[in-house]
């Protein structure tokens, strides 16, 4: 085995069956790495099953902040017999494979392999249950992480267990650490990634939790959802902290009930939300129209996954843009926000509640499985950069819920605050809220609702531009493709290529057109088959995309993959 030197970045993959504790190993290792002052990123891919199959987590440690998925690992820890076969396409000539099970068909073709009998060592320590902490110790030893930090982390994770369990896990982690240290010596492995002490004070957080914190900053006080991956993490996070932040949490009997409860909460003066995925949202479409007609605000977090129907329920895709864009019968405004990193997850989720409240429309936070489950260290979110703005008004005795106004926004009152009667109805209505079939009033009410769209367009969030004035080729991305595109272009290092990252995809501010002046080629990167956002750009702004880089197998783009594909299309 040759010498292996890692002085800037090192990546590893842990793979095994569902139920073997891959998540536990990942979290222990990532927390330990971060607490030692190293930049860390991890994400996971997993099958839709409780036990069996093969799942994997990718962890990257780097000198610089790292936030994007990379395909080819330096190390693979294969803790089930199918793990190597599952990861075969990701193994390069330099990948070091640490494995337990003999599978000649899978393992013989690879050169850099080390066999460790995890099971036997774990049983000597007290049983298979200690395999997770054993492997965590091995990884920590290889990475040259301080042992005391690992021990402290183990104590914290198992703090609710009895002393014997804590001690056994400590012994397993120390044993693993010794094995890792010995491997470094025996196999000529050198890891010298630089520490950054400021990282120790940063937070290590995933996509769902960062969005949930944004919702709290936005004033959410009611959530009603039916659990559906990958958005369930937001429901559980808010439930866990419900007492702390005075949030009423309801696990509804289905998605129809969930969104209608949310609308009722907004009507009563709450700031409500619901979480779902594409299949669950399909059941919510009638209530989205109810929001449009009654002009009751709503915030909907939709974590995308591949369809149609159940599709690949634990994988990722960006194929529900058209669904949320056209959901609901009739015509009414809406807003679609598409965060692409943990920071935007927080700030856009916070902003969603202000937008819904101000314009009295449904606001979508369109995420996906990859972003929801990805985790990296980042600076703590600055609550001072957020502002909670409420637009509820005390009602006078002659209050008209749907008063015709020049800008289309009627004063929104709530029951029992003021002298007025707050009437809402799903039928067409007059200014007071009473049902009408008057054609003239119908026209005025449609005009009123749609007039708000002009205001929303004027205030629409502009995309972030990364590049310089010499940009001739423009890469377009939205949502979770952001980090991979950014990292790929950093590697390509071509000053003629710029990047336009959309964090709001509907409606689009007309100022967006300025970014396309003097551009010779436009390339759109999306995790879907048809290029849904490229089509929307043509429809809304008459922007023609020249090339589309599309992926729809259930996995996100890797940095290496985008480097190859971008180089192909620009040539």
CA 239-169-53 angle, 5° bins: 65
Contact by Cβ (8 Å): 373, 208: yes
Cα gap 442→180, rounded to integer Å: 73
Mean pLDDT of 61-77: 94
The predicted model scores a pTM of 0.96
Please check the confidence at residue 225 and state whether its pLDDT lies above 70: yes
Calculate the CA 237 to chain-centre distance.
14
The class of domain 207-383 in CATH terms is alpha beta
Mean pLDDT of 502-522: 96
Please check the confidence at residue 354 and state whether its pLDDT lies above 60: yes
Mean pLDDT of 228-250: 97
Please check the confidence at residue 1 and state whether its pLDDT lies above 60: no
Tens of pLDDT, residues 255-288: 999 999 999 999 999 999 999 999 999 999 999 9
Predicted confidence band of residue 104 (pLDDT cuts 50, 70, 90): low
Same fold, 207-383 and 464-570: yes
Please give the residue that has the higher pLDDT: either 527 or 51.
527
Predicted confidence band of residue 352 (pLDDT cuts 50, 70, 90): very high
Please give the residue that has the higher pLDDT: either 235 or 105.
235
The domain locations on the chain are 4-201, 207-383, 392-447+455-459, 464-570
Q: Where are the alpha helices (DSSP H) in 143-276?
A: 147-157, 163-186, 207-217, 232-240, 242-245, 255-268
Predicted confidence band of residue 3 (pLDDT cuts 50, 70, 90): low
Give the number of residues written for the chain.
Answer: 571
Please check the confidence at residue 36 and state whether its pLDDT lies above 90: yes
The whole-number pLDDT of residue 299 equals: 98
CATH number of the structural domain 4-201: 3.40.920.10
**Which among 25, 52, 70, 96 has a CA at the least distance from the CA of 487?**
70
The whole-number pLDDT of residue 329 equals: 96
Cα gap 491→494, rounded to integer Å: 9
Mean pLDDT of 475-503: 97
Left (φ > 0), alpha (ψ -120 to 50) or beta: where does 479 sit?
left
Dihedral angle computed from the Cα positions of residues 512, 288, 324 and 300, in that order, rounded to the nearest 10 degrees: 80
Contact by Cβ (8 Å): 203, 380: yes
Number of H helices, E strands in the chain: 20, 22
The class of domain 464-570 in CATH terms is alpha beta
Over the chain, what is the mean pLDDT?
A: 95
């Amino acid at each position: 085995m040759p010498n292996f030197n890692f002085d800037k970045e090192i990546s590893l993959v842990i793979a095994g069956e569902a139920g073997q504790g891959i998540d536990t190993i990942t979290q222990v290792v990532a927390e330990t790495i971060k607490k030692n002052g190293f930049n860390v990123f991890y994400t996971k891919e997993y099958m839709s099953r409780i036990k069996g199959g093969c799942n994997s987590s990718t962890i990257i440690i780097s000198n610089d902040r790292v936030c994007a998925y990379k395909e080819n690992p330096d190390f693979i820890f294969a803790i089930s017999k199918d793990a190597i076969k599952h990861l075969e396409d990701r193994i390069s000539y330099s990948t070091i494979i640490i494995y337990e099970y003999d599978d000649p068909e899978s393992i013989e073709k690879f050169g850099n392999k080390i066999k460790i009998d995890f099971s036997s060592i774990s049983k000597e320590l007290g049983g298979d249950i200690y395999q997770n902490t054993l492997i965590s110790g091995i990884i920590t030893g290889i990475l040259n992480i301080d042992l005391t930090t690992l021990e402290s982390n183990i104590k914290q994770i198992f703090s609710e267990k009895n002393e014997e369990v804590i001690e056994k896990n400590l012994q397993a982690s120390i044993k693993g650490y010794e094995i890792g240290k010995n491997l470094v010596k025996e196999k000529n492995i050198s890891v010298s990634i630089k520490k950054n002490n400021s990282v120790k004070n940063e937070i290590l957080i995933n996509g769902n939790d960062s969005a949930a914190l944004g919702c709290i900053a936005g004033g959410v006080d009611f959530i009603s959802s039916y659990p559906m991956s990958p958005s369930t993490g937001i429901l559980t996070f808010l439930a866990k902290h419900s007492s702390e932040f005075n949030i009423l949490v309801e696990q509804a009997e289905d998605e129809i009930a969930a969104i209608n409860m949310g609308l009722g909460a907004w009507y009563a003066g709450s700031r409500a939300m619901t979480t779902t995925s594409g299949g669950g949202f399909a059941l919510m479409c009638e209530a989205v129209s109810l929001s449009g007609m009654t002009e009751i605000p709503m915030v909907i977090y939709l974590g995308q996954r591949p369809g149609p129907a159940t599709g690949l329920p634990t994988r990722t895709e960006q194929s529900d843009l058209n669904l949320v864009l056209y959901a609901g019968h009739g015509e009414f405004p809406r807003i679609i926000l598409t965060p692409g990193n943990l920071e935007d997850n927080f700030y856009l989720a916070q902003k969603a509640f202000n937008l819904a409240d101000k314009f009295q429309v449904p606001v979508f936070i369109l995420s996906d499985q990859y972003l929801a489950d990805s985790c990296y260290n980042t600076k703590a979110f600055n609550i001072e950069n957020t502002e909670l703005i409420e637009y509820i008004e005390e009602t006078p005795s002659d209050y008209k819920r749907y008063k015709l106004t020049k800008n289309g926004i009627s004063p929104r009152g709530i029951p029992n605050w003021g002298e007025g009667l707050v009437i809402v109805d799903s039928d067409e209505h007059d200014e007071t809220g009473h049902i009408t079939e008057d054609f003239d009033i119908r026209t005025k009410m449609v005009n009123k609702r749609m007039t708000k769209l002009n205001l929303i367009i004027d205030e629409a969030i502009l995309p972030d531009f990364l590049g310089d004035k010499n940009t001739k080729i423009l890469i377009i991305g939205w949502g979770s493709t952001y980090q991979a595109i950014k990292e790929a272009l950093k590697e390509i290092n071509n000053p003629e290529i710029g990047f336009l990252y959309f964090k709001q995809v509907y409606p689009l501010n007309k100022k967006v057109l300025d970014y396309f002046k003097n551009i010779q080629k436009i390339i759109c990167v999306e995790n879907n088959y048809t290029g849904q956002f490229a089509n929307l750009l043509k429809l809304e702004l008459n922007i023609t995309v020249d090339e589309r880089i599309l992926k729809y197998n259930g996995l996100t783009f890797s940095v290496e993959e985008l480097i190859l594909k971008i180089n192909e299309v620009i040539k």
